[in-house]
Amino acid sequence: MLKQLLNILKGQPPLEVASRDFSRMLTLVVEMIGRSSDAFWGATLSPEQKTKLYEKDVEVNRLERTIRKAIVSHLAGANPSDAPYCLVMMSLVKDVERLGDYAKNLIEVTEFTQELPEDELTSELLEIRRSVETLAAAAPEIIATDDADRAHAMTEDGRNAAKRCDELIRKIAKSDYSAPVVVTMTLGTRFYKRIGGHFLNVLSSVLMPVHKLDYYDLETIERMKREG
């Protein structure tokens, strides 16, 4: 689906700009997530760095509106066959916009956090962090190259990380942590899960037809491979 979408965008000035704006959105949210994740794990951000992070979120929101406007204008006089692909872009930009919000949420946890204990549960959350950040770093190139094989592999990794998040929440609930540590660990785990989930939604555009966007269906993927 994504490959067809990118082909439609080529040669049509307003939509070509929308394509570049979408790439810019992805770049911005990956940077935001890296910065906010560092802060969650103890890095100190200066007031200027925090301001810059929030300015990036403002830019992401502006780009989302610009892309949506370009798509609506295009649909007003477009070939009806373009509609499914434009709907894909509408869905993708919303997922990327939400990634910016979750990056902000992650950094906001640091306002009341305590130092996390050096134990098995913290180590598990750190491994989840690495998995989600690997997914985030890979997503822009996968989208740019429409690399279905890599999208499939990263989706499997991302789904596994989401399951680990659910299990970690159960373990935190049974722990003897103080209330501030429980809150910090729980919110961190949930935000990493949501960040990973929105990146998986974006990658689904490489793997799935429009009516199954945001889902992961191996049977459909195999059928699409056979059909070329």
Domain boundaries, the chain: 2-227
Higher per-residue pLDDT: 75 or 203: 203
- In the chain, which ranges are continuous DSSP H helix? 2-9, 13-40, 47-77, 83-108, 120-145, 148-173, 179-207, 218-227
pLDDT category at 28 given cuts 50, 70, 90 is very high
- List CB contacts of 108: < 8 A, sequence separation 6 or more: none
From residue 20, give the alpha-carbon distance in Å to each of 34, 72, 115, 188.
22, 17, 40, 31
Q: Go through 173-201 and write b for each residue having 16 or more CB atoms within 10 A of its CB, e for each that does not.
A: eeeebeeebebbbbbbbbbbbbbbbbbbb
Alpha-carbon torsion (128, 134, 136, 138), positive or negative: negative
**Dist CA 41 CA 99 (whole Å):** 19
pLDDT category at 210 given cuts 50, 70, 90 is low
Q: Which of 61-70, 95-104, 209-218 has the lowest mean pLDDT?
A: 209-218
CATH no. of 2-227: 1.20.58.220
User: Given this model, what pLDDT does residue 8 score?
Assistant: 56
Give the residue-averaged pLDDT of 22-34.
95
Give the residue-averaged pLDDT of 179-197.
95
Give the residue-averaged pLDDT of 55-83.
85
User: Given this model, what pLDDT does residue 226 score?
Assistant: 46
User: Given this model, what pLDDT does residue 91 score?
Assistant: 86
The answer, yes or no, to whether residue 224 has pLDDT greater than 50, is no
Residue in the structure block whose two tokens are 């700009």: 17
Max mean pLDDT among 6-20, 65-79, 108-122 falls in: 108-122
Amino acid at 176: D
**Dist CA 81 CA 76 (whole Å):** 13
